[in-house]
Amino acid sequence: MAEHTVKSKKQFDVEQEKKEILKRYRKLLSVCRPTIASEDRKRIRHAFNFAVQAHENHRRKTGEPYIYHPIAVAQSVVEEIGLGATSVICALLHDVAEDTDYTLADIEDYFGSEIARIIDGLTKISDIFDQTDSIQAENFRKMLLTISDDVRVILIKIADRLHNMRTLDALPPKKQLKVANETLYLFAPLAHRLGFHAIKNELEDLALRYTDPEIYFTISQKLKETAEERKKFIQKFTQPLKRELKKHGFDFEIVGRTKSISSIWYKMQKKEVPFEEVYDIFAIRIILNSPEDREKADCWRAYSIITDIYRPNPDRLRDWISTPKANGYESLHTTVMSNEGKWVEVQIRTKRMDEIAEKGYAAHWKYKESKTSESGIDKWLKRIREILKTSERDALDFMDDFKLNLFSDEIFVFTPKGELRTLPLGSTALDFAYSIHTQIGNNCLGAKVNHKLVPLNHQLKSGDQVEIITSEKQKPKADWLNYATTARAKGKIKSALKEQRKELSEEGKEILARKLKQLKIDNTQENVNQLVKYFRLKSHLDLYYEIAKGTIGTKELRNFVSDSDKTGGFISYLKKPFSKTKEPGKVKIDNTSDIIREKLKTHPDTLLIGDGLENLNYKLAPCCNPIPGDDVFGFITINEGIKIHRNNCPNAVQMLSKYAYRVVKAKWINKKAIAFLSGIKIKGIDEVGMVNKLTNTISKEHSLNIRSINIESSAGTFEGTVMLYVNDTQHLKSLIRKLKKIKGVRSVTRISKD
């Protein structure tokens, strides 16, 4: 009887799941209906049936049927990104080739070559990489390689990551931290660059939820508590705006938008203010329904009306209508003073601009045909292709190039004839030369910026007018790699240096032949191979190059002959190498965790580290100064054992996304009476006896030792830092709460560095 009951329950669960799958699929179809033709919906149905069958026995970490995930990704692809039927089909099938018995060839047979090509770009790489390579970086590069054919690969990948972040709760904490940091490192900047503002904000918010949950939930709660107050303020603020805009015949919509949690946290850190003092927690958006030929004029007219009602801050005007951002974003931003004495950001844009801001690349594509000039996003995609062509094979170098050049802010500079050119922030005169033409870069002697002579490494600023001075005799030099910052410039310099090296190697080959003849050694392939091994070089070209440079001369060749005689013609592989270079970022780590466990085991300490949570020696990272109670992880360094970092360490994003294989679990096991150095920053109104009040609270009431105190006052206010020894985070938080209660103290924040 019990068996029958269990069986019935299982049957009931299966039936319920089938109903839920069908319900989610119907929701997907309803989202598709306004934009996708009925013929395409049949193709989607075919893909859905195929995916359901392929994933029939698969489940997600949440325990749910796996098919929930592809359906959710497909829905995001339509609803949040704005793509069509082909992308929906690819989203439904995106994990089939990777996780089931079906191959890409099967998908091509069923759905055609276009679908198969996109899914190939979405499929993770299954090859085995060196321990020092980042598989994620390789996956990312593979995905980007398809961009020259089809940008939809990246857009579907963003939707895939968005759903994975929304369901991250099901993963273990270490995995959550890795995925969250990977998202901050790659996917949020990519979504921003492609113009998906809402998705970028959600990805950053979800990442913050796992990298710094306390901050996330505190700000989230404060936003809920102040929601009603904000609503009333927005209604009162917008009433006169609506009245005047209607009077002038505008067709418009006004909405209030609250900043994302991560944006608020960023602002709090940057300005060093508490939540209550972030004045632009929300913005007012005015969306005009204007024809494209009148957009710019209407936005400025609306700006004039708004600033007649509320006084603007002249330093806070941002004109992205005349010069759109590289991701296609167009809008006019101003900050005005409300009648209540609060600054309010007002964004003015048209419906077309708003759709591009919300739907990014897909909306840009929709409006592209109406534009004759090349847009910022097309230039950006061209730059991606350039990086893919010129980047080195190493995946991590590639990622650094990619982030440096494509996720950075931009500057606008002019040629001598007044042509506007866009470059990444931090670009030099040499980068500018290569942005014009490779030959101009290769022959660059120097530059004039605003008619003044400057060196090649001179950093450019927006508005600079740049003239490049060239000479046919000039050739790229190795130290130019230190002057260039853009991937294009670095790639062209490396290519030129490689060509020069090749030419020099030809000379070296002839010199070697002459020297071997003098030493009465046969110029055979076998002897040249022995020379390469003896001098520990990588190839014959390297040998010829060193000889042409004069680094390997007759004396070194005689040593080779002498050592060969001693060993009977066999050159010892253990001989100290003549030339050995270490590639940055390519240090091999063999069983480092095991070595550290063997060599650094000591008496029980305050941290447990590693998968087995053994007690090991460690160092606290100076970049974030973790103390007991902080959420932490261990990072295996090359020479200094394990270093402990806070989860929200400024360097955590890079470490966890690029070197996840070197991260080990870490947690505090007990709170011994050990004092850890930490610091706090205090700001407030300067009153008599303030320093005495602060030191009394720290030393007497909390019995803490102060290492240093530095307080400066100016014009009635004070600001200072106090470095002190605490036992754990609770101890520090308790002190901060107490200090905030002192009359005149405006803010108290923890600082990371000494």
Closest alpha carbon to 230 in 253, 193, 258, 252: 258
Residue in the block written with tokens 């069509």? 84
Check 40, 64, 98, 378 and give the catalytic one: 98
Query: Comparing 239 with 405, which gets the higher pLDDT?
Result: 239
From the options 3.90.600.10, 3.10.200.10, 3.10.310.40, 3.10.20.30, give the CATH code of 376-494.
3.10.20.30
Cβ partners under 8 Å of residue 334, min gap 6:
303, 306, 307, 312, 313, 316, 317, 318, 345, 346, 348
In this prediction, residue 752 has a pLDDT band, given cuts at 50, 70 and 90, of low
Closest alpha carbon to 143 in 124, 125, 121: 121
DSSP 420-485: EEEEETT-BHHHHHHHH-HHHHHTEEEEEETTEEE-TTPBP-TT-BEEEEE-TT----TTHHHH--
Contact between 165 and 203 under an 8 Å Cβ cutoff? The reply is: yes
* Cα end-to-end distance, the chain, whole Å: 69
Instruction: Give the CATH number of domain 676-751.
Output: 3.30.70.260
Q: State in words which class domain 12-211 has.
A: mainly alpha
Specify the range with the lowest mean pLDDT, choosing from 42-51, 264-273, 284-293, 517-526: 517-526
Cβ partners under 8 Å of residue 335, min gap 6:
280, 312, 313, 316, 343, 344, 345, 346
HSE-CB for 505 with a 13 A CA cutoff:
12
Confidence (pLDDT) at 669: 59
Query: Comparing 327 with 245, which gets the higher pLDDT?
Result: 245
Residue in the block written with tokens 């011994």? 672
What residues pair up with 620 in beta bridges, in sequence order?
644
Confidence (pLDDT) at 564: 62
pLDDT in tens, 250-268: 999 999 888 899 988 888 8
- Where does 647-702 have alpha helices with state H? 652-658, 690-695
In this prediction, residue 206 has a pLDDT band, given cuts at 50, 70 and 90, of very high
Amino acid identity, residue 382? K
Does the active-site annotation cover 99?
yes
Q: In this model, does residue 232 exceed pLDDT 80?
A: yes
3-state per-residue secondary structure call for 62-98:
CCCECCHHHHHHHHHHHHCCCCCHHHHHHHHHCCHHH
Closest alpha carbon to 94 in 160, 27, 154, 24: 160
pLDDT in tens, 679-724: 888 888 877 777 778 877 777 666 666 777 888 877 777 888 888 7
* Two structure tokens written together for 575: 């001989």
Closest alpha carbon to 563 in 576, 552, 550: 576
Query: Comparing 385 with 266, which gets the higher pLDDT?
Result: 266
Q: In this model, does residue 484 exceed pLDDT 80?
A: yes
Please tell me what DSSP assigns to residue 577: P
Q: In this model, does residue 292 exceed pLDDT 90?
A: no
Mean pLDDT in residue range 346-365: 80
Confidence (pLDDT) at 163: 93
In this prediction, residue 663 has a pLDDT band, given cuts at 50, 70 and 90, of confident
Q: In this model, does residue 291 exceed pLDDT 60?
A: yes
Query: Comparing 479 with 594, which gets the higher pLDDT?
Result: 479
Q: In this model, does residue 146 exceed pLDDT 50?
A: yes
Confidence (pLDDT) at 204: 94
Spatial distance between the Cα atoms of 336 and 351, rounded to a whole number of angstroms: 23
Confidence (pLDDT) at 153: 82
Closest alpha carbon to 699 in 640, 746, 739: 739
Please tell me what DSSP assigns to residue 619: E
Q: In this model, does residue 527 exceed pLDDT 70?
A: yes
| Alpha-carbon separation of residue 644 from 4, 210, 679, 726 (angstroms) | 54, 18, 18, 17
Contact between 52 and 21 under an 8 Å Cβ cutoff? The reply is: yes
Q: In this model, does residue 674 exceed pLDDT 90?
A: no
Confidence (pLDDT) at 590: 42
Q: In this model, does residue 304 exceed pLDDT 90?
A: yes
pTM value surpassing 0.85? no
* Two structure tokens written together for 582: 């270490």
Give kind and range of the element (H or E) at residue 515. Answer: helix 487-518
Amino acid identity, residue 299? C
Spatial distance between the Cα atoms of 143 and 181, rounded to a whole number of angstroms: 19
Specify the range with the lowest mean pLDDT, choosing from 126-135, 445-454, 678-687: 126-135
3-state helix, strand, coil in the chain (%, to 5): 55, 15, 30
Closest alpha carbon to 200 in 32, 31, 359: 359
Spatial distance between the Cα atoms of 358 and 360, rounded to a whole number of angstroms: 6
Q: List where CATH 3.30.460.10 sits in the chain.
A: 220-368
Confidence (pLDDT) at 587: 38
Check 20, 99, 280, 687 and give the catalytic one: 99
pLDDT in tens, 364-378: 555 554 444 455 556
Amino acid identity, residue 191? A
What residues pair up with 323 in beta bridges, in sequence order?
none
Specify the range with the lowest mean pLDDT, choosing from 436-440, 517-521, 583-587: 583-587
Residue in the block written with tokens 């924040």? 749
HSE-CB for 373 with a 13 A CA cutoff:
5
Closest alpha carbon to 642 in 669, 677, 613, 675: 613
Q: List where CATH 3.30.70.260 sits in the chain.
A: 676-751
Closest alpha carbon to 662 in 625, 624, 609, 617: 609
What is the chain's length?
754
Does the active-site annotation cover 276?
no
Contact between 118 and 97 under an 8 Å Cβ cutoff? The reply is: no
Report residue 16: phi and psi, to 5°. Answer: -60, -40
Contact between 683 and 711 under an 8 Å Cβ cutoff? The reply is: no
Q: Percent of the chain beyond pLDDT 90?
A: 17
* Two structure tokens written together for 293: 């030929």
In this prediction, residue 238 has a pLDDT band, given cuts at 50, 70 and 90, of very high
pLDDT in tens, 582-621: 343 333 434 434 433 443 344 334 455 444 444 556 778 8
Q: In this model, does residue 386 exceed pLDDT 70?
A: no
Q: In this model, does residue 361 exceed pLDDT 70?
A: no
Spatial distance between the Cα atoms of 119 and 152, rounded to a whole number of angstroms: 10
Q: List where CATH 1.10.3210.10 sits in the chain.
A: 12-211
Cβ partners under 8 Å of residue 583, min gap 6:
394
Confidence (pLDDT) at 364: 59
Contact between 744 and 686 under an 8 Å Cβ cutoff? The reply is: yes
Confidence (pLDDT) at 297: 93
DSSP 691-729: HHHHHIIIIIIS--EEEEEEEEEETTEEEEEEEEEESSH
Q: Is 478 exposed, middle or buried (0-12, 13-18, 19+ CB in 10 A)?
A: exposed
Return the CATH superfamily for domain 220-368: Beta Polymerase, domain 2 (3.30.460.10)
Spatial distance between the Cα atoms of 159 and 78, rounded to a whole number of angstroms: 10
Q: In this model, does residue 754 exceed pLDDT 80?
A: no
Q: In this model, does residue 383 exceed pLDDT 80?
A: no
- 443 Cα distance to chain centroid: 34
> 10 Å Cβ neighbour count for 126?
7
Q: In this model, does residue 622 exceed pLDDT 90?
A: no
3-state secondary structure at position 335: strand
What residues pair up with 497 in beta bridges, in sequence order?
none
* Two structure tokens written together for 421: 């050119």
Spatial distance between the Cα atoms of 78 and 32, rounded to a whole number of angstroms: 7
Spatial distance between the Cα atoms of 626 and 632, rounded to a whole number of angstroms: 7
In this prediction, residue 450 has a pLDDT band, given cuts at 50, 70 and 90, of confident
Beta strands in 539-631 (DSSP E): 607-609, 619-620
Closest alpha carbon to 405 in 431, 369, 433, 374: 431
Spatial distance between the Cα atoms of 718 and 328, rounded to a whole number of angstroms: 44
3-state secondary structure at position 681: strand
> 10 Å Cβ neighbour count for 313?
12
Query: Comparing 208 with 342, which gets the higher pLDDT?
Result: 208
Please provide the average confidence, as pLDDT, over all residues in the chain: 77
Q: List where CATH 3.10.20.30 sits in the chain.
A: 376-494
Contact between 324 and 376 under an 8 Å Cβ cutoff? The reply is: yes
